[in-house]
Structure 1
Amino acid sequence: MFGRKERADAQALIDALDRSQAVIEFNVDGTIITANRNFLDAVGYSLEEIRGKHHSMFVDASERDTVEYREFWAALGRGELRSAEFRRVAKGGREIWIQASYNPIVDKQGRPFKVVKFATDVTRAKARNLDAAGKLAAINRTQAVIEFELDGTIVTANENFLGALGYSLADIRGQHHRMFVAPDERDGSVYREFWSRLTRGEY
């Protein structure tokens, strides 16, 4: 049995999680029991709108009837924790992204009887990452791009670069940048210093 101090410490931890995390509780069949204010704010619902409903209300229609989704809840029912970044659907069809852990809670016999999810809304960070990925894709479409190891060895290059120089990737991968440099420049101190500066992180 827990003593008074242990119970107080446990309650303080629960209160801290409730303040900092989006928390929702489910029966092992996925039916919603309750949720805290952070979770409700993230999905845009009131507790009355979601209590008694199934978790699938937060899942895209294309995912709800999949084998993977059924196995997700079957695993939780077996007491297996699930933690990842998830795409979810908030009220009105709004897309949100959460970093979440689904934690089965077991009884004295070790049998799961509910699942508690702790989540953080990472929608803004995800949007920034997707924006950055989109910009990189745009650069790759419009620019000639090549990547090197710090010693000048070629790692890869995009089609724009290969087309401009008339090589295939197999022709250049593993070769040194000097293959693109005139012979009278390759062995000069200026060229060696060029790669030394790059190795030091200088432009």
Structure 2
Amino acid sequence: MKAKQQPARDVGEQFRLLVESIEDYAIFLLDPQGNVSSWNPGAERIKGYRAEEIIGRHFSVFYPSEDVDRGKPQSELQVAARDGRFEEEGWRLRKGGTRFWADVVLTAIRDERGRVIGFGKVTRDLTERKWGEEEKFGKMFRLCPVPLAIVTLAEGRFVEANEAYVRLVGYPREELIGRTVAEVNIHPQAEQRTALMKAIESGQKVRNVEGVLRSKSGEERSVLHSAELIEVGENPCMVTAV
């Protein structure tokens, strides 16, 4: 005997109840323009907005201002519409502006003719995992016997330096962090520093490039530089090993 098929409206109601019972994931719908059209309890818990506060607003409100300025929300809609799906991990905003690290899946919803009639979005908060990874990285960075430093690409400003690097250049950590490489003048050959930055900006991995490093005492020594592009709080930076 064949099982009796449930009416589509009953299945739809069961699915709605399922979505509304999920609290670990933000699950919501967007219209074709990116405006929020539904909201589940998980979305309220993760993002902080009640349904009546967010429905009808554009989903770009969940993105940091720098992402909005470069058109990231609209670009994600375009990718999902073209490929059927967009997925990434990145920073998103809660109500009030605090950031959290999110796993995001954006899926295009199409009608019978294949036209995009909206998008489904599922977001998971991975902030605790992110902090755990960064704490582990930070410990390894600090204890590494190889001299390591992290500087911003835009200005060459020190973000971090480990103990081995501090000993090598002779500057206390507090005299490095927040200052630029040019200000402390540890690279007497300006063209060397510029070439290194340009190589990293272009996506190259720098390995064992000869250069000169000047310590706080004025001593200059020949060194080999290796460097790679990383992001710190979504700011492009260079981690360099000497």
Q: What is the 5 A alignment of 1:118-157?
A: 118-140=122-144, 141-142=162-163
1:3 aligns with 2:2: no
The answer to whether the 8 Å contact 1:78/1:112 transfers is: no
Matches within 5 A, 1:1-203: 3-4=5-6, 12=14, 15-18=17-20, 19=22, 21-78=25-82, 80-140=84-144, 141-142=162-163
Report which of the two has the higher share of strand.
Answer: 2
Distance apart, 1:15 and its partner CA: 4.4
CA RMSD of aligned residues (A): 3.3
Q: Are 1:79 and 1:112, in contact at CA under 8 Å, matched by a contact in 2?
A: no
5+ residue gaps, structure 2: 145-161, 166-206, 208-222, 226-242
Give aligned pairs, total.
150
* Per-residue deviation, 1:29: 1.1
C-alpha separation between the residues in 2 aligned to 1:34 and 1:109?
23
Q: CA deviation at 1:72?
A: 1.5
Quote the sequence identity (%).
22
**Larger % of helix: which?**
1
State the SS of the aligned residue for 1:91. coil
Question: Using the alignment, how far apart are the partners of 1:33 and 1:79 within structure 2?
Answer: 22
Higher RCO structure, 1 or 2 (CA under 8 Å, sep 6+): 1
AA in 2 matched with 1:137? F
Whole-angstrom distance in 2 between the partners of 1:27 and 1:105 = 9
TM-score (norm 2): 0.53
1:86 aligned counterpart, secondary structure: strand
Alpha-carbon spacing, 1:33–1:17, altered in 2? closer, same or farther (3 Å): closer
Q: Secondary structure at the match of 1:126?
A: helix
Deviation at 1:79, TM superposition (A): 5.5
The alignment partner of 1:128 has SS state of helix
Classify the secondary structure of the residue corresponding to 2:84.
coil
Residues 106-142 of structure 1 deviation map (CA, whole Å, 9 limit, x = unaligned): 0010111111112221111111111111222212223
Query: How many angstroms does 1:50 deviate by?
Result: 0.8
1:10, distance to aligned residue in structure 2 (A): 6.7
1:67 CA displacement: 4.3
Q: TM-score when scaled to structure 1?
A: 0.62
Q: Quote the Cα distance in structure 2 between the aligned partners of 1:43 and 1:7.
A: 30
Contact 2:25 2:42 in 1 (8 A): yes
Larger Rg: 1
Mapped partners of 2:82, 2:73: distance in 1? 15
